[in-house]
Amino acid sequence: MTSVTHSPLRPLDPDGVGLFEAIVATVREPLLALDSHLDIRLANRAFHEFFGAAADRVEGANLFEIGDGLWDIPPLLALLEQVVSSRTPFEDYAVEAMRPGVGTRSLLLNARLLDMDGHAFILLALEDVTERDGLERLVSERTAELEAFNYSVSHDLRAPLRALNGFSRALIEDCSDELSDEGQRYLGLIRSNANQMGALIDGLLAFSRLGRQGMVRGPVDVRRVVGEVVRELEPELEDRTVEIVLGDLPPVDADPVLLRQVYANLIGNALKFTRGTASARIEVGSRIVGGERVWSVGDNGVGFDMAFAGKLFQTFQRLHRSDDYEGTGIGLALVRLIVQRHGGEISADAVEGRGATFSFTLPEERE
C-alpha cells in the first residue's frame, strides 16, 4: 500500500476531552477506526488486549497487512469499500481469527461510516461469539438427544408395560381355577401398577412435549371450553351429586388447546378431591383483582395442608396417598407450565377438609 499523509484524529468537541476517543476506549468490544484507505487510525484497548503483542503498532498500518494478513479477506475488502463509497454499513460479517495463546475464535464484524471534521472514518467493531456459538450448538445437540430419549421412552417403555398388563390378565382368565383369591388379587395389583406407570410415562411425555411445542394464542371462548370439559368429565359424575357453578367467564387471549388442558386438569382434580364430600360444589369463574383478571377453580373437597403448598406444582409431588386419591403428580406441574408460558402465575389456597381454590392469570400479550 502506498503511504498517504493523513490528518490526525481530532476530538469531536474541540473543547472536550475527545468524546470519540473516550467512547472507543470505553467499549468492551475490540474496535478499530479506519480511514478511507483502510489504514488503522485508532485501535482501542480491547483490541490490544484481544490480540496481545500481535496488535502492537497497528496504528498507521493497513488493515490487510496486520496480523500476517488475518484480515486480508477479499469479500471483507469489498464490504469495507462499500462502506466508504456508498455509506452502506454492514453487520454480523463472520470471520475466524486466531487469538494468540487462546486459539481460533469466531468473530462477528459490524462497520459503518463516520464523518468527522470533513474526514470519513470507518468504525469497525469486533464481537467474539465463540462461546455463544458453542452454547447454541450444545443446546441444539441436547435438544436432539432429549427428543431421541422421549421417543425411546414413549415407545420402548410402554411395550413391556402392555406385556405385564396383558399377561397378568391372561393369567387371570386362563388359570383362575389354579389361583387363590389372594393370587388373583396380586395379579390385579400388577395390572393396575402397570397402568399407573403407563399414565406416568404419558404425563411425563406430555410435560416434556409442552416445553418444546410452539404456542398459538388467539381468542378463546372460555365458557364454552369449560362447558366442554365438564361434559367430558361426566362419566365421573355418575352416581354423584356435584353442583358445578359457572361464574364470570369472558373470552380470553390464549392457546385454546393448552387452556382446555388447564381446565381439564383443575376441574378433574376438583371432582376427584370432592369424592367424599356430601354436597360437592365446584365453582369456575373469574374476577378482577388489582386491575387484572384472575381465573379460578374452587371446590369444597378435602383440600390440603398449606404447609405443603410449595410442593403442589412440582413434578411427581403428591399431597395425597395414592390409595386415597389416584394420580401421577404431573397434572398441576403441567398446569403451571401452561400458565407460565402464557406469562401468567398460578397459586393455590386451601383449608384441610374444607376445600381448595386454584387461581391463575393469563396476561394479555404485549406487542
Partner 1 sequence: MNGGADILLVEDNPADVELTLRAFKKNRLSNKIHVARDGVEALEFLFAEDRPVDALSVVLLDVKMPRMDGLEVLQRIRADERTRHLPVVMMTSSSEESDRISSYDLGANSYIVKPVDFENFTEAVRVIGTYWLLLNKPSVVSERSVTV
Rounded distance between C-alpha atoms, residue 66 and residue 126, angstroms = 15
Taken in order 259, 261, 264, 269, the sign of the CA dihedral is negative
User: Does residue 106 touch partner 1 according to CB under 8 A?
Assistant: no
* N residues, the chain: 367
Q: Is 169 in the site for partner 1 (CB under 8 A)?
A: yes
* 165 contributes a contact to partner 1 by CB under 8 A: yes
- 121's grid cell: 472514518
Of positions 166, 211, 276, 343, contacts partner 1 by CB under 8 A: 166
The packing angle between helices 158-174 and 181-212, to 10°, is 160
Strand residues in the chain grouped as ranges (E): 31-35, 40-43, 90-99, 103-116, 119-128, 218-220, 242-246, 252-254, 280-289, 292-299, 346-351, 355-361
Q: What is the CA radius of gyration of the chain?
A: 33
What DSSP character marks residue 235? Answer: G
- Which residue from 110, 184, 193, 195 is in contact with partner 1, where contact means CB under 8 A? 195
Select the residue interacting with partner 1 from 163, 175, 215, 216 (CB under 8 A): 163
Question: Where does this chain touch partner 1 (CB under 8 A) — which range of 12-20, 28-36, 66-74, 153-161?
Answer: 153-161
Q: Which stretch binds partner 1 (CB under 8 A): 70-78, 117-125, 193-201, 255-263?
A: 193-201
Residue 81 interacts with partner 1 (CB under 8 A): yes or no: no
Q: With binding defined as CB under 8 A, does residue 156 bind partner 1?
A: yes
Q: Do residues 337 and 356 make contact, with C-beta atoms less than 8 angstroms apart? A: no
DSSP 154: I
Q: Verify binding: residue 158, partner 1, rule CB under 8 A.
A: yes
Nearer to partner 1, 107 or 194 (CB): 194
Among 82, 113, 116, 167, binds partner 1 (CB under 8 A): 167
Q: What are phi and psi of 109, to 5 degrees?
A: -110, 135
CB of 35 to partner 1, least distance (A): 56
Report how far apart, in Å, the C-alpha atoms of 106 and of each of 31, 46, 47, 54 are.
16, 16, 15, 18
Q: Are 81 and 74 in contact (CB under 8 A)?
A: no
Q: How far is the CB of 225 from partner 1 (least distance, A)?
A: 22
Does the footprint of partner 1 cover residue 219 (CB under 8 A)? no
Binding of partner 1 at residue 162 (CB under 8 A)?
A: yes
Residue 74 or residue 235: which is nearer to partner 1 going by CB? 235
Contact between 151 and partner 1 per CB under 8 A: yes
Say which residues have a Cβ less than 8 Å from residue 217's Cβ, sequence separation at least 6. Answer: 253, 254, 255, 342, 365
320 binds partner 1 (CB under 8 A): no
Binding of residue 223 to partner 1 (CB under 8 A)? no
C-alpha cell at 142: 441436547
Is 202 among the residues that bind partner 1 (CB under 8 A)? yes
Examine residue 261 and tell whether it contacts partner 1 (CB under 8 A): no
Task: Find the helix packing angle between 130-152 and 181-212, rounded to 10°.
Answer: 150
144 lines the binding site for partner 1 (CB under 8 A): no
Interacting stretch for partner 1, rule CB under 8 A, among 21-29, 36-44, 98-106, 191-199?
191-199
Indicate which single residue of 66, 84, 122, 194 sits in contact with partner 1 (rule: CB under 8 A). Answer: 194
Q: Which is nearer to partner 1, 171 or 332 (CB)?
A: 171
- Interaction site with partner 1 (CB under 8 A): 150-151, 154-156, 158-163, 165-167, 169-170, 191, 194-195, 198, 202, 205, 209
